[in-house]
Chain A
Amino acid sequence: MAFDKPIPYSLFPIPHSSFPIPHSPLTMDSSQFQFFPPKLPSQKPLSSKLWKYLILFGLAFLLAWGLSFLFNRQELLLPTGILAGGETTVNNRTSLGYSQPAPNLSPSQLDLHTEGDRAFEATFVTRPADINPGLGPVFNNASCVACHTGDGRGMPVEGQLLVRVSLPANAPVNQQQPVSAGGKNTRQQTIFASHPEASVSLGNAPPVPGLGTQIQDHAVYGYAPEANVKIDWQESQGKYGDGTQYSLRSPNISIALPDGEPLPQNVLTSPRIPPSVFGKGLLEAIPDQTILALADAEDRDRNGISGRPNLVWDGEKKKLVLGRFGHKANTANLLQQAAAAYVNDMGVTNPLFPEANGSTDIDPATLKAATFYTQTLAVPARTLADNPEVKRGHKLFIQANCNGCHIQELKTGNHEIKALANQTIYPYTDMLLHDLGTGLADGRPDFAATGNEWRTAPLWGLGLTQTVLPYSGYLHDGRARTIEEAILWHSGEADPAKEKFRQMQSGERQALVKFLNSL
Chain B
Amino acid sequence: MSQRQYICLSRIAIALVGLILTGMSGCESNSSSSSNPPGTASSQSTTEEKGKFSHKQIVADFAKQVVVPTQQSFVQRAAALSTAIDTFAKTPNEETLKATRQAWVNTRAAWEQSESFTFGPAESLGYDGALDTWPLNDTDLQAILKSQDRFTPKYIEELKDTEKGFHAIEYLLFGSNHNKKATEFTPRELAYVQALGVNFAQVAKQLADSWTKGVEGKPAYQEVVATAGESSNSTYPTVNAGAEQMVQGIIDSLIEVADEKMGQPFAKKDQKLFESRFGLNTLKDIKSNVKGAQNVYLGAFPDANTSGASLSAYIAEVNPDLDKRVKSGFQDSLAALEKIPDPIEKNLNNPQATASVKYAQEEITEVREILEKEVLPLIK
Contacts and interface: CB of A to CB of B under 8 A. Distances in A.
B177 interface: no
A469 interface: yes
A68 B27 CA distance: 10
Interface in A200-223: 218, 220-222
Contact of B244 (A33, A92, A123, A389): A92
Interface in A29-70: 30, 33, 35-36, 40, 45-46, 51, 54, 57-58, 61-62, 64-65, 68-69
B26 A16 contact: yes
Interface stretch (B1-9, B75-83, B288-296, B344-352): B1-9
A420 interface: no
A123 B137 CA distance: 10
Interface residues of A, number: 79
Contact of B121 (A19, A126, A146, A471): A471
B213 interface: no
B257 to A, nearest CB: 14
Contacts of A21: 15, 18-19
Given A68-B23, A123-B162, A18 B29 contact: yes
A384 B1 contact: no
A157 B129 CA distance: 14
Contacts of A468: 119
Nearest to B35: A507
B120 A392 contact: no
Nearest to A384: B237
> Size range of the interface on B?
35 or more
A396 B307 CA distance: 45
B24 interface: yes
Interface in A100-150: 114, 118, 123, 125-132, 135, 142, 146, 149-150
A231 interface: no
A142 B160 contact: yes
B332 interface: no
Contacts of A114: 259
Contacts of B134: 123
Contact of A507 (B15, B34, B234, B237): B34
Interface in A329-378: none
B138 A125 contact: yes
A185 interface: no
B33 A126 contact: no
A98 B357 CA distance: 30
B154 interface: no
A94 B249 contact: yes
Contacts of A13: none
Given A68-B23, A142-B161, A517-B237, A45 B15 contact: no
B3 A507 contact: no
A94 B244 contact: yes
Contact of B163 (A64, A221, A469): A221
A65 B264 CA distance: 65
A25 B135 contact: no
Contacts of A222: 143
A220 B142 CA distance: 12
A20 B224 CA distance: 37
B272 interface: yes
A125 B123 contact: no
Contacts of B120: 95, 470
B221 interface: yes
A383 interface: yes
A503 interface: no
A155 interface: yes
A221 B26 contact: no
A463 interface: yes
A258 interface: no
Contacts of A506: 35
Given A51-B1, A123-B133, A125-B138, A93 B241 contact: yes
A40 B259 contact: no
B8 to A, nearest CB: 8
Given A68-B24, A92-B248, A221-B163, A510 B34 contact: yes
A518 B3 CA distance: 53
Nearest to A45: B1
A155 B123 CA distance: 11
A94 B237 CA distance: 11
Nearest to A155: B124
Interface string B214-239: 00001001001000000000111110
A467 interface: yes
Nearest to A114: B259
A91 B380 contact: yes
A189 interface: no
A388 interface: yes
A386 B50 CA distance: 9
A496 B197 CA distance: 56
Contacts of A388: 26, 29-30, 33
Contacts of A142: 160-162
B139 A125 contact: yes
Interface string B152-167: 0000000011110000
Interface of A: 16, 18-21, 25, 28, 30, 33, 35-36, 40, 45-46, 51, 54, 57-58, 61-62, 64-65, 68-69, 72, 91-96, 99, 114, 118, 123, 125-132, 135, 142, 146, 149-150, 155, 157, 218, 220-222, 383-384, 386-389, 391-392, 463, 466-472, 506-508, 510-511, 513-514, 517-518
The 6 closest A-B pairs by CB, nearest first: A95-B119, A221-B140, A126-B139, A125-B137, A18-B26, A507-B34
17 contacts: A18-B26, A25-B11, A45-B1, A61-B13, A61-B20, A65-B16, A93-B240, A94-B244, A125-B138, A126-B139, A384-B47, A388-B26, A392-B30, A467-B235, A470-B224, A471-B218, A513-B234
Given A40-B7, A65-B16, A142-B161, 11 more contacts: A25-B11, A46-B1, A54-B9, A57-B13, A72-B24, A93-B237, A96-B252, A118-B264, A135-B137, A384-B238, A471-B124
